[in-house]
Structures are given as structure tokens and as C-alpha cells.
Structure 1
């Protein structure tokens, strides 16, 4: 439903947040440090930024200020800094809202949905050439004709399309495909589902899903 950028240096907390947001069909790009975030945040269009403030190599406040130089994408801070001074500093940097740690994951989910609804974030349809995905109806259309995909195939295709032009590694795909109920998926799961997707898209020439040898896959040109 929405493409979300998550900057949180606590990898356990980051994993928990990612799993929770994927329950609402969001796509999550997770990074763990300020310098990594600087390299990644402009590589695609995001509907929401979730930023930790205190990081080992920088500050989420500084990243928020950089985002505000070029975009009005909503920013939600995840932080233990909940004094009035800290909150005012965050709003001065350009954030839209705060959530103080520790927080119940369900509260975060509701707040994310509220921010996206208020700002109109999230794109209902993703298109490339003759291929279209309607995220609200979970429909995949090729030249107007519905293609029936499994849940795993659908998640794979949507993630690749939303990261069009970017090399997506197998590790990144495995993170997206990790079952929210905890069922194990492995490297073979990616290969098998990529093969099935190509068959269903009649993509033997790799015009949609392109293998980048030794790295992973990319979508489109």
C-alpha cells in the first residue's frame, strides 16, 4: 500500500517494525545507520520516513532536514528523546509526528496508517509497460487481463516493481518474503518464484525481471 523507509539502528526492533508494517501490505526498506541512510533515501520514491534520532554515526534530525530540502514526504520520528525541547527540535527539523520509545507495535501501525491517510501517502497502482498491479484489490493485469499469482509471487513482483531500476539482492528479497507468521523461506524460494513469475508474465527474454549475475535482480530497463 505504501513504500516506507525505516532508519533504526536496533536491528531487532527494526525487524519487528518491518514485520508489523508488512501485515498492512506496506513495502519497507530498512537501514541501520545515518551514512547508509544517506546513500539510500533518494534512490526511490517513498511515501513515509520512519527515523530514529540517536544513531551511532549521526542523527535522524539531520536526515530529516536533508529530506525537507527536496521533498514534503511525511516523517515520523521513533525516539527515546521525548522531552519538550527534543520534540520542538524534531518539529523544527521538519518532522510530522513523534512516537516515543518504548511503544507497542500496534500503536505504531495505527499511527502510520493515520499519517498516510492524512497526507494521501501510498500509491494504489504500479505500472510498467503492459503490466499493472492494483494494490488495493491485489490484482495483477497484463494488457488488461488478470494474471493469477500466489501470495509469494505477488509480494515478489510488487517489491521488484516498486524498486524498478535498482538492483535487488537475494538477501533483500528474502527479507521481504520472510513469512509474517515465521515460516522459513530460503534462497531456493526466490529462484523458484522468479522462474514461475517469468512464466506467468511470458518473460523468457527478461524484459521485466532481469537477472544481474552475482548480485540479484532488477526490474525493467
Structure 2
């Protein structure tokens, strides 16, 4: 479960964000003190930070600059201002995205999901149930046996891994493949999922991808 730290001084918004993220399958943590934000980040070790620009003790952009001195953790800047200056500065300081209040919950969740998706696809390795997934080589290994995935199989697996524990529909997978400039029809998707299951079974992970009848697929 991905851990998201909410750094927001408005208690109502903070609570609303925590509820939204928790209901969407994330571990949402909050902070209500802002004098030692850097230390809290180091202690909590979040996978992503939602960072308000207007904080009572330290400007969010100053905190972002401090974070970037030591870490490339994804940061989404949140502000009630509509000035483009804030967005330009935030992105120049290393923010991964920027959203204004009042935010659209669906849009915010999609942006967070896309950041995690990019992390998987641009990162070289990630662990899944003791398996090492190497995205640059398109391989999955248990340390002894290595299986190689085709490009489309890896796109499907990456999307399932990003949404691990959640039901993913066939439409979701088709859309993701289209977003990666990979044309694939419904029959081809079925073939790719079948091949991916067979390859996972080769290294003892038969049943890792479960079909939920009438709903879609879930990576266990």
C-alpha cells in the first residue's frame, strides 16, 4: 500500500484529503506541525507528498527545495492561489505536479495514480512478493529463474502492479495500452493476460492475477 503524507494547515481540507486517499486504497498520514517537516518526512518515509504552498511557519516551496536537496520523492503542490507564478516556481523547484483548490477529487486521484505509474515505468526495479521486477529489461526474477515479458505483457503487469489490490477493468487495460501507443484489440488483450499468467506460473506464482467475473482483474 502506497503511503502519502499530507502537509496542509487547513484542518478541514487535511481531513477531507485523508478520507479521500484512505477510501482510494492509500495509507494517508497527516501532520499538523510545520516547524520540523523535514524530520517528519524522514521518519514517515512516504511514497508521495501532498504539499500546501501556504503554510504558517515555512513556505511550501522552501520545504520543496529542502526535500530536493536529498530526495526525489514525488511531490504534488497544492495551493488556493490561481497565479501561474506559483506553478512555475513549484515546477522549477522540482514539484512533480501542481493542483489548485478547490480541487476535483477525481482529477487529484488520477494525477497521483499517473505519478506512481511513471515511477514504475521509469524506475529500473521494484519488488513484488519477493520477485524482482526489472522494467528496463522487461524481466521478473525470483533470484534463480528469470522470465522475460513482451512489451505489452509488461505494460499490463505494470498497470496491475500500480493498482495492486484493486480491480482493474478490461477497459482500464485497453486505455493504458492505447496511452502507450500500443494498439491492441480485446482478443489480443486476453492472449496477453493468459501469457502473463503462464509466465508467472513458471516461477511459482500461479493465481497471482485473479479474474473477478463481470468486473475485471486484480493482482494479489
Question: What TM-score comes out, normalization by structure 1 length?
Answer: 0.53
Contact preservation (8 Å) 1:77, 1:97: yes
Contact 2:38 2:67 in 1 (8 A): no
> Structure 1 residues 21, 70: closer, same or farther in 2, change over 3 A?
same
- The equivalent residue for 1:136 is 164
Residues 8 and 33 in structure 1, CA contact (< 8 A), matched pair in contact too: no
Q: Could you say which residue in structure 1 is the equivalent of 2:64? A: 64
Distance in 2, matches of 1:113 and 1:137, equals 14
Aligned-pair CA distance for 1:21: 0.7
Q: What is aligned with 2:96?
A: 96
CA distance in 1, matches of 2:44, 2:129: 14
Relative distance call for 1:9 and 1:125 in structure 2 (3 A) is farther
Q: Contact 1:7–1:52 at 8 Å: present in 2 too?
A: yes
Q: Who is 2:13 aligned against?
A: 13
The answer to whether residue 120 in structure 2 is matched with residue 113 in structure 1 is no
**Equivalent position SS for 1:95:** coil
Q: Structure 1: how far apart are the matches of 2:45 and 2:8?
A: 19
Quote the residue 1:81 is aligned against.
81
- More deviation in 27-36 or 6-15? 27-36
CA distance 1:137–1:116, change in 2 (3 Å): closer
Which of structures 1 and 2 has the bigger CA Rg? 2
Q: Cα RMSD over matched residues?
A: 2.8
Does structure 2 conserve the Cα–Cα contact (< 8 Å) formed by 1:6 and 1:49?
yes
Question: What CA deviation, in whole Å up to 9, does each residue of 1:149-168 have, x standing for no partner?
Answer: xxxxxxxxxxxxxxxxxxxx
User: Is the 1:124–1:136 contact (alpha carbons within 8 Å) kept by the matching residues of 2?
Assistant: no
Distance 1:67 1:15, change over 3 A: same
Which residue number corresponds to residue 30 of structure 1?
Answer: 30
Alignment CA distance shift 1:126-1:39 (3 Å):
farther
1:87-118 per-residue CA deviation (whole Å, 9 max, x = no partner) reads 11111221011001111222212221111112
How is 1:192-211 mapped onto 2 (pairs within 5 angstroms)? none
Q: Which runs of 5+ in 1 are unaligned?
A: 128-133, 139-221
CA distance in 2, matches of 1:80, 1:103: 9
